[in-house]
Structure 1
Amino acid sequence: MAKFLGLYFFMGVFNLPSIWHYWVRSHIYNYPLFTQVMSGRHFRAILRHFHTFNSLAIPQDNEDQLIRVRTVMEYLFQWFQNTYLPKEHLSLDKGSLQWKGRLSFRVYNPMKPSKCSIKLYILAEHKDHPEAGSKEDQGS
């Protein structure tokens, strides 16, 4: 399952026209990592049957809009906390993720190129902060 999720997240970094293109061996689409980790047929079979929550187990009085992905979110949140510790120089920013599907918490902004989106808050770390001194200053 870790290999599947790793490839799925990697697809978010390198966006190709379709899932099939990640396993094509050509000079245009050449990502050998995908073929080394898992076959395209195996990946699509997992994707077709991948579910994070039993829909029949949703309580009638449910208020959580993300209940179907909550277990995966909590797992990833815990994994990220155990894997990476941020340093001092952090920056908080707002961003948006284009979304064409149906969600009750999507944001509509007619002035943006992508009219419907999901609002995100992004925490970024600056590695070469001026207060830390440049590499040249450290050598002298």
Structure 2
Amino acid sequence: MKSPISDNIIQLTPLNIWEKIFSPFIDLNVRESYLYAEQSNNLLDTTPEKIKAFIGILIIMGFHSLPSIRHYWSNDKNFFCDRVASIMTVKRFLKHLSIDESVIAFKGRSGMKQYMPMKPIKRGFKVWALADSASGYLINFEIYTGKNSNNLTEFGLGEHLVESLV
């Protein structure tokens, strides 16, 4: 009986394997993004290579954590990350960022569970998400744990969310 895994997989690099798995999804994402932009009368400047670069930056940011996203392009040598800054400018990286709330369905018992009658998912965990609005990729998120006035600045929850997610 033949194995479902190709015999030459041993010869492939991890990057080759990653591309075999994810390239079809990235290509589909680019095609559908252009279709959506065309239907919305918007301009879009993206390619599969740019999406891969964006994902690569997110991976680097995952293991090379800094206090703020802007620090990767900082003039301060203690924060600047050449691997990120040489791939994409900060302006392009931050161009299509969006913050929105979402609900993760949960029916168990938890003090963090929220009830939102106007949402399609009525009960669950409320999550604030920072995502790339052009590609839909999640960049950062924060689970809402209830009202906490100690962490809020003079401008309230909105500014606190933007500061903590970006």
TM-score range, shorter chain: 0.3 to 0.5
Q: TM-score, normalised by structure 1?
A: 0.35
Q: TM-score, normalised by structure 2?
A: 0.30
